């Protein structure tokens, strides 16, 4: 009997679960300073999210250094050590394929602070309170 393809919801839940597992592994590697890189040991780096491709072969990790300091240097160090991260994630997850890792800066905090700034504007506050 042919195997039924998984529903869209089941696939997306699996992508989220695997992405969260990858995020935990990367966070643990960075927290325990298992990567022998001077830039990464000198900075506290948060892995805010990991997005997996539908086939689980590609992972995009969004990172943010503490206080946003030296973001470019941290990204360069992470990209230099990509092979190490891929190997560690593959060994710990034991998936069929090892995901190719990509590292990107997380801009969501900047967008959120911009929205907060806009909402704190007196003109916007006046318009919002007029509707109430």
In this structure, what token pair is assigned to residue 100? 């190719």
Tally of structural domains, the chain: 1
Task: Tell me the per-residue pLDDT of 95-124, one tens digit each, with 9 for 90 and over.
Answer: 878 889 999 988 876 777 777 777 777 777
pLDDT over 90 percentage in the chain: 39
Cut 0.85: pTM above it:
no
Task: Tell me the per-residue pLDDT of 15-47, one tens digit each, with 9 for 90 and over.
Answer: 999 999 999 999 999 999 888 888 888 888 889
Helix, strand counts (H, E) of the chain: 6, 3
In a domain, 129, yes or no: no
In a domain, 19, yes or no: yes
In this structure, what token pair is assigned to residue 65? 């250094």
Q: Which range marks the domain in which residue 65 is found?
A: 8-106
**CATH number where 22 lies:** 3.30.300.20
């Amino acid at each position: 009997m042919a195997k039924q393809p998984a529903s869209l919801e089941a696939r997306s839940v699996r992508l989220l679960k695997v992405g969260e597992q990858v995020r935990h592994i990367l966070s643990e590697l960075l927290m325990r300073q298992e990567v022998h890189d001077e830039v990464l040991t000198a900075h506290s780096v948060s892995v805010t999210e990991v997005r997996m491709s539908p086939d689980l072969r590609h992972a995009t990790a969004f990172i943010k250094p503490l206080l946003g300091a030296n973001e470019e240097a941290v990204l360069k160090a992470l990209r230099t050590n990509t092979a190490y991260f891929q190997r560690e994630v593959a060994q710990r997850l034991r998936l069929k394929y090892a995901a190719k890792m990509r590292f990107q800066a997380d801009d969501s905090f900047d967008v959120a602070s911009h929205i907060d700034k806009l909402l704190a504007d007196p003109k916007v506050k006046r318009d919002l309170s007029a509707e109430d």
